[in-house]
Chain A
Amino acid sequence: MYEIRLHSRGGQGGVTAAKLMALAAFRDGKFATAAPFYGAERRGAPIVSFIRIDEKPIKIYSQIHNPDLIVVLDPSIIDLVNVFEGLKPDGDVLINAPDIPEKAAGYRVRHVDLTGIALKLNLIVAGNPILNTPVIGALAKMGLFSRESASAAIKEMFSDERNLNAALMAYEELI
C-alpha cells in the first residue's frame, strides 16, 4: 500500500486534489481511497487529506501516520506545521514552489511552481489560483499513476481544458 498525506489550505482545492489522485489511481486499475480530514478549520487554515493506493481493496479508514509521500500545495504551511512528521525514511516530498524551501533540506524533494502555472493559464477561481489539477500532472511524472489516467481523471471531473493543460505543464516542469 502506498500512503500519501496532502497539505493545503482550506479553499485551495486540496480535497478535490485528493479525489483526483484516487480517481487517477483507480483508472490505472488500482484501488484507492481519498479521505479529507475535517476539523474546525475554515477557508485559509492549514488542512490535510489522506490518500491510499493499493493493488487490493483498502480497509483502513484511520489517518495516515507514516506516509510514503507528502504533497505540499502551499509552501507557506511549512512554517506553520511540521509537514514532514512521520514521513518514511525513504519517503518522497512534492512541494508547490519554484525553489526548494530551506526547511525541506535533507528530504527527497521534488518541486514545481504550480501557482505559476495556474497564473500563466489564468486558471483562477474566486481570486485563487487552482492547484488541484496541475498537481496531478506532477504526481503522474513522479510515477504515482500513468499520464493517461491522470488526463482521464481530470477530464472526468473538469470540462475546462485549462485544467488538463496545467497538469501537462506541471508534468513537463517538475524538477
Chain B
Amino acid sequence: MLTISTGNNAVAAAVKQASPAVVAAYPITPQTEIVEQIANFVTNGSLKAKYIPVESEHSAMAACIGASITGVRTFTATSSHGLLYMHEMVNWAAGARLPVVMANVNRAVGPGWNVWAEHTDALQTRDTGWLQVYVATVQEAYDATLMAFRIAEDRRVYLPVMVNLDGFSLSHISQQLEENPAGDFIPPLVLDHAITPEKPAGYGCMTSSTDYFRIRYDIERSMRDSVAVIRETEEVFASKFGRRYSWTDDYRCEDAEILIIAMGTLGKEAEVAVDILRSEGIKAGSMRVRWIRPFPDLDLGDRELVVIDRNYSFGFGGILASSIKAKTGRECFNVIAGLGGQEVTYHDIAGFVRNRRVGQESWFGVDA
C-alpha cells in the first residue's frame, strides 16, 4: 500500500507487520506517537499483542526483557531522556542476549530543555552491545524496523537492535511510504536459551569472572557475526521488496575527491549539497553512515573527508569522526552541527566542504 506517513507511524506500521507478542512502553514525555499508534493497533485488534503501559522507561525495558526471555517477540520505543533512564536495562537486554527491538527517536539531552534532533542520546548507549542503525527517510524507518527483528532474532546474533530516527525532522514529517506485508520475511522467533516451564533456568545470577569474561567475548563474536547477517538480511529484503540498503548510503562517491560523511537526515540533505558543489566543479560525494554498531568497514580511498557529527563526546570530539579516525587512521574536517535541532541546510553543508580544514574541528555557527 502506498501512502503518506510520518516517521513515527512508519515504525508503528512495521511493528504491526512484525507482530510482536509484547509491547511495553512508558506513554508520557519524551515518548513518541510510535507507541500511541501501536496502542491503537492493539485496541482495534489489528495487532494481537500484549500492550503493557508501564511507569517508566526503565520498567519498559525490564518488561521487554522479562517477556523476551520466554522466547517471544518484543518491542518498545523511546527517546532521549527516556533512553537514558532505561540505560541499566539497555545493558541487561544485550547481556542476556535478548533480541528486543527498540525504536529511538533521537533527541537532545537536557539541560537546557530541548526536544529537537541530536544523536548524543543513542550514542551514549553505543557500548552496551546493541546493534544500532540510523535512518534518513520515512520509508527507511519502516524498512529498517522490519529488518531489525530478523537481524536481532537470528541465532548468529541474538542481540537487541535499536532503530534510530531523527526527532521531528524525521519522526514528525510526512513522506511517501510503501507498506509491504512482511510475509515470511521475519521467520518465527526461536530463542535457544528461552526459559519455559519445560526448561526452567535463571539469568542474572552471580557470575564468576571467568564466565563473565567469556560471555562478554561471546557478545563481541556475535556482534562481528552480525555483519554477515545484516548483509544477508538486506539482500533478502532487496529481492523481496525491491529496496536496497547497505552499510552506507552512497551518492556520487565513485569519482568523488571529497566525501561528506554524516548520519541521519543531515546525511540525506548532504546529497543536495553534493549537487551544488559538483556544479561549482568541486568533486564531492556523500556517504551516509547507517550502522554505527557494528561499525562498518568504510571504503574511503584517499579522498578528503568532511565528517558532520550531530553529537559530541566532551573532552574528545565528534563520535562519528573519531570512530572513523580510530578505524581507518584518516584525518578529517570534523563539523559539529545540528545539536539540539540547530537548523542546518544544504547550503550550510556545501559551505562546510568549501571551507574545509582537514585535521580540525569546527562548531557550526558558534566558533566561526
**Residue positions of A touching B, CB distance < 8 A:** 18-19, 22-23, 26, 31-36, 38, 58-63, 65, 156
Contacts and interface: CB of A to CB of B under 8 A. Distances in A.
Given A58-B175, A62-B343, A35 B272 contact: no
Interface in B348-368: none
A38 B115 contact: yes
Contacts of B169: 35, 61
Contacts of B344: 62
A35 B172 contact: yes
Interface stretch (B218-226, B227-235, B263-271): B263-271
A173 to B, nearest CB: 27
Size bracket of the B interface:
20 to 34
B139 to A, nearest CB: 9
Q: Which of A18, A32, A61 has the most CB of B within 10 A?
A: A61
A59 B168 contact: no
Contacts of B269: 59-62
A38 B174 contact: no
Contact of B174 (A22, A62, A156): A22
A38 B341 CA distance: 10
Contacts of A23: 3-4, 174
Contacts of B346: 60, 62
Contact of B173 (A26, A33, A156): A33
Q: Which of A31, A59, A63, A156 has the most CB of B within 10 A?
A: A59
A156 B346 CA distance: 33
Nearest to B170: A61
Contacts of A26: 2-4, 176
Contacts of A33: 173-175
A6 B84 CA distance: 35
